[in-house]
């Protein structure tokens, strides 16, 4: 391997820049060339490549977002699109790829690396943390801290006005942001797709729970089958007309901001491991960290089946003990 291409793809997450920096610096350390690919797989297809050196990643470790930009790219889902991407890589003499993203990114990387026998290693970059093969994905720690900081502020006003707040957090298929941030803010209830609590059970808990609380915070993952904060809010207003109920949807603030130190260090460690993994001949795998150890997991095994792996019955029991 002489020239490593690097790209960020799918939804952005805080710490992607720290990962780019680590991949560039590790490549230079091993006397490899490194080429930035702009806007994810779209940049592969457009041959939107920029040479990178130590200076090009200076002063970015603390910045949210991604300097390489990211995009969703439907053309890469087609064989013709991937053939064009492959041709562009060969023409620019890029002979390996590091892709930073989530499950969609890895699905594409898996197809591509097998189709053309092209070396690809993935770095987990998603605030959802919904990948098997790493305890934490880059960006998750920052995102849950953003949620905790926001909800602490909501708690102040909720407590002053004796209000019930329903706060919707990100997580279309995964309740991991809701789970940890909910525990962190002392939420009265947490609705996540994996637990299937549902509105009737929530109402039951509110009816039977402590009555002496000034404020109540309910955290809802956007993908919960109850249907999001507004739907839950309507159901509760109907059942408890005396409650002063307010809704807050946190939205995209959860994706942005300076990465936490945990995310910067994780990104730095995984970025170096990705380059060294490629040099050792590893391909079609994601590099993650499990119990402090670096672990390489085939792309096909990183996707889905998250429930049993990360949202264990023990976590759900903890939520039940602590809420209400």
Q: Are 121 and 295 in contact (CB under 8 A)?
A: no
Nearer to ligand ATP, 41 or 136 (CB): 41
* Cα(209)–Cα(161) distance, integer angstroms: 19
The DSSP-derived string for 143-194 is HHHHHHHHHHHHHHHHHHHTEEEEEEE--SS--HHHHHHHHHTT-SEEE-TT
Structure token pair of residue 269: 């460690």
221 forms beta bridges with 169
253 annotated to bind ligand: yes
62 annotated to bind ligand: no
Q: How far is the CB of 128 from ligand ATP (least distance, A)?
A: 6
52 forms beta bridges with 34
Nearer to ligand ATP, 53 or 115 (CB): 115
Q: How far is the CB of 73 from ligand ATP (least distance, A)?
A: 4
Q: Which residue has the tokens 């009265």?
A: 188
**Among candidates 303, 277, 291, which has minimal Cα distance to 104?**
303
Q: How far is the CB of 99 from ligand ATP (least distance, A)?
A: 9
Nearer to ligand ATP, 10 or 64 (CB): 10
Element (H, E) at 224: none
Active site (annotated) includes residue 128: yes
Neighbours of 74 (CB within 10 A): 9
Q: How far is the CB of 78 from ligand ATP (least distance, A)?
A: 8
* Cα(203)–Cα(194) distance, integer angstroms: 19
Q: Which residue has the tokens 């060969």?
A: 90
Ramachandran angles phi, psi of 36, nearest 5°: -85, 135
Structure token pair of residue 130: 């919904």
The residue annotated as part of the active site, out of 12, 110, 128, 130, is: 128
21 annotated to bind ligand: yes
Residues that bind ligand ATP (CB under 6 A): 9-11, 41, 72-73, 76-77, 101-105, 107-108, 111, 126, 128
> By beta-carbon distance, which residue lies closest to ligand ATP?
104
Nearer to ligand ATP, 81 or 182 (CB): 81
Cβ neighbors of 293 (< 8 A, separation 6 or more) are: none
Nearer to ligand ATP, 72 or 213 (CB): 72
Say how far residue 320 (Cα) sits from the centre of its chain: 25
22 annotated to bind ligand: yes
Q: How far is the CB of 106 from ligand ATP (least distance, A)?
A: 7
Annotated binding site: 11, 21-25, 72-73, 102-105, 126-128, 155, 163, 170-172, 186-188, 213-215, 222, 246, 252-255
User: Which residues form the catalytic set?
Assistant: 128
């Amino acid at each position: 391997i002489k020239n490593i291409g690097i790209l960020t793809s799918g939804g952005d997450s805080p710490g992607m820049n720290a990962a780019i920096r680590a991949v560039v610096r590790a490549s230079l350390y091993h006397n490899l060339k490194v080429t930035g690919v702009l806007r994810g797989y779209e940049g592969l297809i457009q041959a939107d490549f920029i040479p990178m050196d130590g200076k090009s990643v200076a002063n970015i470790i603390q910045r949210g977002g991604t300097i390489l930009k990211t995009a969703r790219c439907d053309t890469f889902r087609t064989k013709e699109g991937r053939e064009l991407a492959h041709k562009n890589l060969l023409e620019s003499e890029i002979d390996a790829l590091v892709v930073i993203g989530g499950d969609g990114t890895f699905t594409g990387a898996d197809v591509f690396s097998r189709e053309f026998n092209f070396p690809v290693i993935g770095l987990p970059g998603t605030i959802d943390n919904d990948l098997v093969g790493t305890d934490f994905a880059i960006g998750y720690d920052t995102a849950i801290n953003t949620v905790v900081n926001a909800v602490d502020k909501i708690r102040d006003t909720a407590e002053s006005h004796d209000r019930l707040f329903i706060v919707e957090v990100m997580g279309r298929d995964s309740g991991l942001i809701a789970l940890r941030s909910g525990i962190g803010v002392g939420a009265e209830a947490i609705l996540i797709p994996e637990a299937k609590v549902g509105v009737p059970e929530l109402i039951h808990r509110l009816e039977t729970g402590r009555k002496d609380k000034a404020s109540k915070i309910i955290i809802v993952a956007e993908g919960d089958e109850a249907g999001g904060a507004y739907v839950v809010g309507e159901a509760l207003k109907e059942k408890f007309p005396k409650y002063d109920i307010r809704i807050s949807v946190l939205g995209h603030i959860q994706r942005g901001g300076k990465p936490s130190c945990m995310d910067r260090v994780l990104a730095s460690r995984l970025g170096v491991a990705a380059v060294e993994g490629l040099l050792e001949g590893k391909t079609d795998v994601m590099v993650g960290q499990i119990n402090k150890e670096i672990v390489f997991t085939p792309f096909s095994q990183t996707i889905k089946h998250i429930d049993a792996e990360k949202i264990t019955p023990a976590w759900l029991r903890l939520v039940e003990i602590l809420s209400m």
